[in-house]
Amino acid sequence: MAVYLSEPIHPDSYALLNSETEIVEDFSLPQKIEGLITRNIKVDKGLMDQLPNLKVIGIHGSGCDDVDIEEAKKRHIKVFNAPNQNSTSVAEMIVMFMLALSRQLIKAEHDYSSQAISNLAPSYLMGQELSRKTVGFIGVGAIAKQAISILKAGFKMNVLGYSRHLDQTAANELGITHCANLVSLLRQSDYVCLCLPLNEETYHLIGKAELEVMKPTAFLINTARGAIIDEEAIYHALKEKKIAGAASDVLTHEPHFSKLMLLENMIITPHLGANTNEALKRVGNLCVSQMIDALHHRPIPFEVKK
């Protein structure tokens, strides 16, 4: 049984996979490949056409938007993901982004290291505390819930939530305020965090109209998928100071230069949310164990069938 790895996985996970399968890292013998583990590549009809004996696709993470599930289903290829294994790491990154934006961390480091600062604690670098501010989560899944726990306990923040799956009862259980619509959340929030999947409904969910509703002092944080935000709209909103700043671990096209990188009030990182030793080990081990089970025709817990 040969399994193609699109990108490196945790060493422990690699060792487990190597003990049970033959690992291949190119398409020199495509007919050998029965399993494929993807982290960030597109697995579409064209790629499936190259692998005539492909039986299983493993998604190294929870997001399924890079795999053509319907095409795989037509070919009787099993698809699975590894949900909720990286929630802690991504939640911590959300908090990091909020702190970095609030204290102008990137600009402060740049100006100080380039000797543009001649006095300590310059007034133009005055920040703000997270404590007692209002944060709104669009999407209230596993990642958002962990971030909410940190922000409520550590910073005593007021938390708002909006999701088509969130109702008043669920909001009460989380100790947050349920917003009936997106506009309500955007108008009230000092920080807006995107924690939802990319699909037809969420594509460009945040555009010009939504950004204009936000407070001019508000910050937008995206650790979900780049295309949830209209990048042209956010560029102009930031350039014209319609909102105070934004941070994103994702872009519509990755890896790719974006003019957003040129803005002082924008932080962009190369998809690092789940890139911790702990998260990679949890995701990798679950992904590999499911791949081995699927290739041996054993049931797998996170098969994607939609």
When pLDDT is averaged across residues 29-34 and rounded to a whole number, the result is 95
Residue 188 forms part of a structural domain: yes
On whether both 144 and 21 belong to a single domain, the answer is no
Provide the domain limits for residue 168: 87-268
Residues 156 and 179 in one domain: yes
Contact predicate 43/36, CB 8 Å: yes
pLDDT exceeds 90 at position 305? no
User: Quick one: DSSP state of residue 119?
Assistant: S
Establish whether 254 is a catalytic residue: yes
Q: What mean pLDDT do residues 236-246 have?
A: 98
pLDDT of the residue at 40: 83
Q: Is 298 considered catalytic here?
A: no
The band of 195, judged by pLDDT with boundaries at 50, 70 and 90, is very high
The answer for residues whose C-beta is within 8 angstroms of residue 265's C-beta and 6 or more apart is: 238, 241, 244, 245, 246
| Model confidence band, residue 185 (pLDDT cutoffs 50, 70, 90) | very high
- Spatial separation of the C-alpha atoms in residues 177 and 174, rounded to whole Å: 9
How would you class 262 by CB atoms within 10 Å of its CB: exposed for 0-12, middle for 13-18, buried for 19 or more? exposed
Q: Are residues 24 and 144 in the same domain?
A: no
Mean pLDDT of 90-116: 96
Q: What is the mean pLDDT of residues 256-282?
A: 95
**Active site residue: 178, 225, 231, 282, which one?**
225
Output DSSP code: residue 303: B
Question: What does the pLDDT look like over 14-26, one tens digit per residue?
Answer: 999 999 999 998 8
Same domain for 62 and 95?
Answer: no
Do the domain assignments include residue 300?
no
Confidence at residue 109, expressed as pLDDT on a 0 to 100 scale: 95
Same domain, 78 and 164: no
Could you tell me the CATH number of the domain that includes residue 154? 3.40.50.720
Predicted local confidence at residue 255, as pLDDT: 87
Percent of the chain at pLDDT above 70?
A: 100
Mean of pLDDT values over 142-157: 97
Q: Give the active site residue among 22, 212, 232, 254.
A: 254
Mean pLDDT of 111-128: 95
Residue 39 is among the residues annotated as catalytic for this protein:
no
Cα→Cα distances 56→62, 120, 127, 304, Å: 16, 58, 50, 11
